[in-house]
Amino acid sequence: METLEFQSEARQLLQLMIHSIYSNKDTFLRELISNASDALDKLRLETFRDKDLDADISDLHITIEADTEQRTLTVRDNGIGMTREDVVRLIGTIAKSGTAEFLRKLKESDQSQDLIGQFGIGFYSTFMVADKVTLVTRHPHSAQGVRWESTGESTYTIEDVEDAPQGTSVTLHLKPADAEDNLADYTSTAKITEIVKRYSDFITWPVRLEDKEINSRKALWARPSSEVTEEEYAEFYRHISHDWNAPLETIRMQAEGTFEYQALLFLPSQAPLDLFMRERKRGVQLYVKRVFVMDDCEALMPEYLRFVKGVVDAQDLSLNVSREILQQDRQIQLMRRRLVKKVLSTIKSMMTDKPESYATLWREVGAAIKEGLIQDTENRDAILAICSFASTHSADEPTSLAQYVERMKEGQEHIYYMTGDSRATIENSPHLEALRAKDYEVLILTDPIDEMWVDSVPAFDGKQLQSIAKGQVDLETEEEKSANEEREKDFADLLTWLAETLSENVKQVRLSTRLTTSPACIVGDTHDLTPTLEKMYRAMGQELPQIKRILELNPTHPLVEGLHKAFAERSGSDELAETAELIYGMALLAEGGELGDASRFVRLLANRLERTL
């Protein structure tokens, strides 16, 4: 017999279970049955793949045995079981991505219940109700079984055993019942039946207690909608998603004809923890004629809808279909297209029918949905229609594009936006001035993904999307235009000289139509990288040539007027060149940018200030 230590993260999680911050202790049984059910699914799949596997699949089931005298409860399955290495790896450690992050959040949060549910409490939840847990298991590949035991403190013991039956049994040495602590008598047949009915009724394998089958095993997606309760949907959702919260929205679909399938999909009320992690999961569960075939079936859900959980049950697929085959199958592709359209149209109707649910969904997973604007060109318009963005219209209410278009002013042709690091930088940037003067609304795009999709989305509802920090912003009347042309001529020499003087930093200097109160701003050409994007690429280690942008001057600003006059009088002086540098530096600072040579800027500025005193 060997005594081993739990990995430190596992130990922390166990402590949480023992000192149970989680009030609903009944759920430990759901977790055990869920694991047993998975183990039965896995064994059946394995026998398809490996015809020589030494396993009996004639009566796969789960048994619950209670011993009132010994105060033990055993959950037994004749599924895939675990090898000794499996037990050490799966039970002694937590391999899930995001565990450290999760534990950190848990410490900082007072909503530990929600968080812990989101994580999926799993096998360790047994320590909420037991002082000691014994697990005996055998994998069909090994002749010997393994016995694992622990009190949930820092160590566990593990030893080989002869004669272990196929599968796994988990025996809980129960704590005394204690109503105050929400600890029921888990040896009571009535209590066990109640919990199984409530949480695990839909499990496709028989769950037996005293030789009676206590679950109805009905697949929810095969029952008429009218007969399934919200609560049943919610439990099923928890079973497949490991999210403790109820789903935000339930979607059912049915396709008849040559390729028959049923789908039951859920939208979450909280972003999955791994939503933006590298090793994130996606996809729904695939069943074939009520039989579980695979988890996380990527072929059925695109990357940007990775938060959608659920089940698709197809009639005409082979049970041992592989992921590779699924990726190429035409029927599967058609099915995926219909699932995607259904998810998008459901979100669309939420916008009008359930605005609060929509707002929650958008807050939690909107950044993922926006990836679809790049990935899924076929559905781009449908995706645009369900997007919301911060805007200058309201400080806290995001707006849809349709709402934006409704508010567009007389004569406004485009949908204006600006990308940047934060709302504050954008709001304070000089680029916004002329639009503000005209009372035009501007979308404030601050998600990193925004930088990516704006370039691939030309228009919404026939209205072009236009960055206010790029290209020429055309906001003038005909009169203003001819006045400007006059001015351009007047300023031509100054602009040429400035362009030469600042040639290391800018590629052009021109007069601006977007400024009202600032002297200058810096803008990009329509196809230039934005400063944020440039920063992102550089941070990712990409080599980029220096990107020069355009300096725009406000000809009505006293500083620019002064410069114009001074240039006519004494062109080419060093002092004027310094003024040019200062104006460029100010424009850079105004948009939240960084000065190339800050100490030089400060020195020039200090000199000037000195002379004013």
The residue among 61, 42, 63 whose CA lies nearest residue 53 is 42
Query: What's the CA gap between 309 and 266, in Å, rounded?
Result: 5
382's tokens = 């449908």
3-state secondary structure 317-384: CCCCCCHHHHHHCHHHHHHHHHHHHHHHHHHHHHHHHCHHHHHHHHHHHHHHHHHHHHHCHHHHHHHH
Contact 47, 34 (CB under 8 A): no
Kindly state the smallest distance separating residue 39's Cβ from ligand ADP, in Å. 3
CB of 231 to ligand ADP, least distance (A): 22
Inter-residue contact 310 to 264 (CB < 8 Å): yes
Query: Which listed range, 35-43, 44-52, 310-318, 354-362, lies at the site for ligand ADP (CB under 6 A)?
Result: 35-43
Cβ-contact 388, 399 below 8 angstroms:
yes
- Least distance between ligand ADP and beta carbon 96 (Å): 7
Residues 367 and 386: their CA atoms lie apart, in Å, by 12
Dist CA 506 CA 204 (whole Å): 67
- Contact between 513 and 474 (Cβ < 8 Å): yes
Q: Which of 17, 28, 29, 31 binds ligand ADP (CB under 6 A)?
A: 31
Cβ at position 159, least distance to ligand ADP in Å: 18
Q: Please, is 594 exposed, middle or buried when counting C-beta atoms within 10 Å of its C-beta (0-12, 13-18, 19+)?
A: exposed
Do strands 549-553 and 520-523 pair parallel, antiparallel, or not at all (unpaired)?
antiparallel
Assess 77 for contact with ligand ADP (CB under 6 A): yes
Q: Is residue 130 within the footprint of ligand ADP (CB under 6 A)?
A: no
524/451 Cα distance (integer angstroms): 14
Residue closer to ligand ADP, measured from CB, 76 or 549: 76
Cross-strand partners of 510:
552
When asked if residue 80 is in the footprint of ligand ADP (CB under 6 A), the reply is yes
Among 20, 27, 35, 83, binds ligand ADP (CB under 6 A): 35
Contacts (CB under 6 A) with ligand ADP, residues 153-212? 168
* Among positions 90, 177, 367, 529, the unique one binding ligand ADP when judged by CB under 6 A: 90
Q: Per 3-state DSSP, what percentage of the chain is helix, strand, and coil (rounded to 5)?
A: 45, 20, 35
x/- letters, 455..484, toward ligand ADP (CB under 6 A)? ------------------------------
The b/e string for 460-493 (b: 16+ C-beta within 10 A; e otherwise) is beebebbbbbbeebebeeeeeeeebeeeeeebee
Least separation, in Å, of the C-beta of 441 and ligand ADP? 46
Question: Which residue lies nearer to ligand ADP by CB, 158 or 373?
Answer: 158
Member of 6, 10, 26, 79 binding ligand ADP (CB under 6 A)? 79
- Out of 117, 122, 302, 420, the residue judged to bind ligand ADP by CB under 6 A: 122
Cβ 94 to ligand ADP shortest distance, Å: 8
**Taking contact as CB under 6 A, which single stretch among the options 72-80, 383-391, 463-471, 568-576 is the one that binds ligand ADP?**
72-80
The answer to whether residue 36 forms part of the interface with ligand ADP (CB under 6 A) is yes
Candidate list 120, 206, 471, 592; residue touching ligand ADP; CB under 6 A: 120
For residues 165 and 592, which CB has a smaller minimum distance to ligand ADP in the complex? 165
CB of 218 to ligand ADP, least distance (A): 23
Q: Are 332 and 326 in contact (CB under 8 A)?
A: yes
What one-character-per-residue DSSP string does 211-278 give? TEE------GGGS-GGGS-HHHHHHHHHHHH---SPPSEEEEEEE-SSS-EEEEEEE-SS--TTTTST
Of positions 39, 248, 432, 515, contacts ligand ADP by CB under 6 A: 39
Which region, judged by CB under 6 A, interacts with ligand ADP, from 29-37, 248-256, 434-442, 460-468?
29-37
Q: How far is the CB of 60 from ligand ADP (least distance, A)?
A: 12
What lies within 8 Å, CB to CB, of 134 at 6+ separation is 147, 148, 149, 170, 171, 173
Please report whether residue 243 would count as binding ligand ADP according to CB under 6 A: no
118 binds ligand ADP (CB under 6 A): no
Which C-beta is closer to ligand ADP: that of 76 or that of 306?
76
Is 61 near ligand ADP (CB under 6 A)? no
Measured from each CB, the residue nearest to ligand ADP is: 122
Q: Which of 10, 60, 82, 263 binds ligand ADP (CB under 6 A)?
A: 82
Least distance (Å) from ligand ADP to the CB of residue 58?
19
Rounded distance between C-alpha atoms, residue 174 and residue 183, angstroms: 10
Stretch that binds ligand ADP, among 6-14, 28-36, 284-292, 356-364 (CB under 6 A): 28-36
Residues in touch with ligand ADP (CB under 6 A): 31, 35-36, 39, 77, 79-82, 90-91, 120, 122-123, 168
